[in-house]
A and B are shown apart, each in its own frame.
Chain A
Amino acid sequence: MKLVIIDYGAGNIKSIQFAFKRLGFDAVLSNNIDEIKAAEKVIFPGVGEASSAMKMLKESGLEKLIPTLKQPVLGICLGMQLMCNSSEEGNTKGLGIFNVDVKKFSNSVKVPQMGWNVISDLKSDLFKGIKNKEFMYLVHSFYAENCKESIATTDYEIQYASALQKNNFYGVQFHPEKSGVEGAKILQNFLNL
């Protein structure tokens, strides 16, 4: 299977590549539009700041490409947030794939949320074999609001969308590549889609 991880200079891509390698798949890192288009599955990672990541996507032409992809696409962490309408982080527009806005946690909780929390209300084949309230590793200061496109929710200050889906587009706020055996199952499920 041709699996591409979009490499636009944001984040810890190595961990995702290694996680797929542990599943027996070689993922290619690429920012080449033709190569991404031709992939069977696409991973859209991201760690860092939203507005500067959007800038990098614009400069590389990926901003226009990503919403037009037809194969299964999985956004991880900031990748998922960038697939939303907008983010309060740097007040930036997003790719507008998911019809939801990204907001900042208030100071009534520690920010960033860092560590293992549970995912509930699981609604997609992405979570096949994953039990309700399974633990996943999260590190984030901003969150997507709970919405129609939620396929998992998590509680931290409020109940928010910890995973989203629209057609061939999937997004997870947590890091499946760092969430032990259960996280690896989710990556395998994505490959099986």
Chain B
Amino acid sequence: MLTKRIIPCLDIKNGRTVKGVNFVNLIDAGDPVVLAKQYAELGADELVFLDISATLEGRKTMREMVLKVAEQVNIPFTVGGGISSIEDVDILLKCGADKVSINSSAVKRPELVNELADKFGSQCVVVAIDAKQIGKEWIVHLAGGTVATELNLFDWAKEVEKRGAGEILFTSMNNDGTKAGFANKALAKLSTELNIPIIASGGAGTVQHFIDTFVEGKSDAALAASVFHFGEIPILELKAALKKNNIPVRL
């Protein structure tokens, strides 16, 4: 049976992890390669690296990091942040990334999704969507939730699926950083209306939140940062709890 995936997300700036990371016995908590290796050993199913460098120099450093991660880590990983062209993707995949995630560049030019899917295959195209619930509607936002678009979450998700996205990474801006649980109603709607995998993001605080997003939210994978980085929820313990609740996991 295909298992549900647990995905730690690392924010990278100029080749270093930025959010504080507090792992036991870690020599260099700022080195993404060391962290990635540790996560692979501790039961993570996949990793996501989000490049938040705003400079050209930072992007170059990111590519070097991707190469090093591919060299040393034996589980799949996705790279996102600042990707806006076929060339960007080509370089990252050649450096050994398994998937890339695009967000605002897809909103600005939706054809990019088709172009990437045609050239590299849907399996490596993740479309990340940040959305905020305003009244009854879920509105797609850009720039970390600060800029509202005209797009409705569900319409946009269906459109990128049609255009060839292989996976959706949905972050609820209402839930992100709250540690109060994932946006399971919206996730369940996405999972039911689309036929590609949905990664839940935003709101992880407890083990129960993960159980809920897999059961109520029908999510295929769950992504989180701080609960993993600060050791609040050890991945193996999380997976054991999921298994106890009859959620299929790799353990």
Task: Give residues in A with beta carbon < 8 Å to B.
Answer: 12, 14-15, 18-19, 21-22, 47-49, 107, 110-118, 135, 137-141, 155-156, 175, 177-181, 183-184
Tell me the interface secondary structure of chain A in the complex. mixed
Least distance between A119 CB and chain B CB atoms (Å): 12
Cross-chain contact B123 with A137 (CB below 8 angstroms): no
Least distance between A121 CB and chain B CB atoms (Å): 15
Cross-chain contact A18 with B1 (CB below 8 angstroms): no
Residue of B nearest to A10 (CB): B121
Cross-chain contact A15 with B40 (CB below 8 angstroms): no
Contacts of B45 in A (CB 8 A): 115-116
Task: Give residues in B with beta carbon < 8 Å to A.
Answer: 1-5, 40, 45-46, 67, 70-72, 74-76, 93-98, 118, 120-124, 166-167, 195-197, 220-221, 250
Among B70, B71, B72, B123, chain A packs the most CB atoms within 10 A around the CB of B123
Within the assembled complex, what's the spacing in Å between the Cα atoms of A175 and B122? 16
Contacts of B4 in A (CB 8 A): 115
Cross-chain contact B3 with A116 (CB below 8 angstroms): yes
Least distance between B195 CB and chain A CB atoms (Å): 6
Cross-chain contact A112 with B166 (CB below 8 angstroms): yes
Cross-chain contact B250 with A110 (CB below 8 angstroms): no
Cross-chain contact B74 with A112 (CB below 8 angstroms): no
Known: A112-B123, A178-B76, A180-B40. A18 touches B98 (CB 8 A): no
Within the assembled complex, what's the spacing in Å between the Cα atoms of A110 and B161? 12
Residue of B nearest to A176 (CB): B74
Cross-chain contact A18 with B250 (CB below 8 angstroms): no
Task: Write 23 A-B pairs (CB below 8 A) sorted by A numbering.
Answer: A14-B94, A14-B96, A15-B98, A18-B70, A21-B71, A47-B120, A49-B118, A49-B121, A110-B220, A115-B4, A115-B45, A115-B197, A115-B221, A116-B250, A117-B1, A135-B250, A137-B75, A137-B76, A139-B76, A141-B123, A180-B40, A180-B74, A180-B75
Cross-chain contact A12 with B220 (CB below 8 angstroms): no
Among A12, A140, A156, A179, chain B packs the most CB atoms within 10 A around the CB of A12
Contacts of B71 in A (CB 8 A): 18, 21-22
Least distance between A159 CB and chain B CB atoms (Å): 12
Contacts of B3 in A (CB 8 A): 115-117, 135
Residue of B nearest to A105 (CB): B195
Give which listed residue, A48, A110, A180, contacts B121 with CB less than 8 A: A48
Contacts of A138 in B (CB 8 A): 2
Contacts of A107 in B (CB 8 A): 195
Within the assembled complex, what's the spacing in Å between the Cα atoms of A48 and B2? 21
Cross-chain contact A155 with B1 (CB below 8 angstroms): yes
Cross-chain contact B74 with A184 (CB below 8 angstroms): yes
Within the assembled complex, what's the spacing in Å between the Cα atoms of A48 and B76? 16
Known: A14-B96, A135-B250. A48 touches B74 (CB 8 A): no
Residue of B nearest to A108 (CB): B195
Within the assembled complex, what's the spacing in Å between the Cα atoms of A62 and B221? 38
Among B2, B75, B93, B250, chain A packs the most CB atoms within 10 A around the CB of B2
Cross-chain contact B74 with A183 (CB below 8 angstroms): yes
